Amino acid sequence: MTITITPYLLYADVDAALGFLSRAFGFEEVLRYTGAEGRVNHAEASLGDSHVYLGDPTTAGSPYRNPAALGAATVLVMVDGVDDVDALCERARAAGAQITEEPADQDYGDRRFGAADPEGHKWYFAQKIAQTAPEDWGATTPAEV
């Protein structure tokens, strides 16, 4: 059995989010559903073999607030397998992403940067630069716990 976990991020403006994710990070729109009121209610975008769903929760009475309105992160989306983290960071910066962490080598063998999209969702993009055993950077595996 193949199991897939797909983040479903809520945006007040799904149309704008799709454009930003494409310009900044290279996502490709897979589909969109526009409701009767003319707003994009659901969309799907892909990056490589992975997908992210986007939804608009702004129906009447919805308690939804995006991370920018809350002033706090609600989720961090980790994207592994990037070919060139530094180039992607510059692309994201040029597209208006807020770079929250500049590209840096991590003890666990990744080179990673952090960014926030216009609605405040937090993204990390990582490129594997070394194979590092968990115990070499302080992690444990279930057999060690």
What does the pLDDT look like over 26-69, one tens digit per residue? Answer: 999 999 998 888 888 899 999 999 999 998 877 666 777 788 88
Q: How many domains does the chain have?
A: 1
What is the residue range of 114's domain? 8-56+73-135
The Cα 3–Cα 20 span in angstroms is 28
Judge whether 140 lies within some domain.
no
Judge whether 97 lies within some domain.
yes
Judge whether 145 lies within some domain.
no
Please give the model's pTM, rounded to 2 decimal places.
Answer: 0.88
Judge whether 41 lies within some domain.
yes
Judge whether 36 lies within some domain.
yes
Instruction: Measure CA 32 to chain center.
Output: 18
The Cα 24–Cα 53 span in angstroms is 17
Burial of 137 (0-12, 13-18, 19+ CB in 10 A): exposed
**CATH (domain of 36):** 3.10.180.10
On the question of pLDDT at 145 being above 80, the answer is no
Give me 139's structure tokens. 């992690």
> Token pair 């608009």 is at which residue?
56
